[in-house]
Amino acid sequence: MRLDKYLKVSRIIKRRTVANEACSGGRVTLNGKVAKPGAEVNVGDIMTIRFGNKLGEYEILAVNETARKGDAAAMYRVIKEDAMVAAERGGTEGAEE
């Protein structure tokens, strides 16, 4: 699955156009390398996203073409993220103050 679509389906980023812009702007890395929107996402990959001065790091657990809102969080595991990112995403696990 494309990285920009994964970010939208997993609801880490709410809109695909925003996910595409984040990838195109070099703010998303996949396994330590800057990733383009069309980069292929696989189970076990580590993804890091910079939201301005905020940071989120996630492990990809599942790659589903679609996911209901309640099931989207099961597609990834939060390794580390700022408290502000967790609040915006609607989660609290892995948040650092």
How many C-beta neighbours within 10 Å does residue 66 have?
A: 7
Residue 71: the pLDDT is 87
Residue 63: the pLDDT is 93
pLDDT per position as a tens digit, 73-88: 899 999 987 777 777 6
pLDDT per position as a tens digit, 30-79: 999 999 999 999 999 999 999 888 888 999 999 988 888 888 889 999 99
Task: Give the bridge partners for 47, in sequence order.
Answer: 30, 58
Q: Token digits for 66?
A: 């679609």
pTM of the complete model: 0.82
CB 41 within 8 A of CB 29: no
| Tokens 């589903």 found at | 64
Helix (H) or strand (E) holding 96: strand 95-96
Rg of the chain, C-alpha, whole Å: 12
CB 31 within 8 A of CB 46: yes
Q: CATH topology for 3-96?
A: 3.10.290
SS3 77: strand
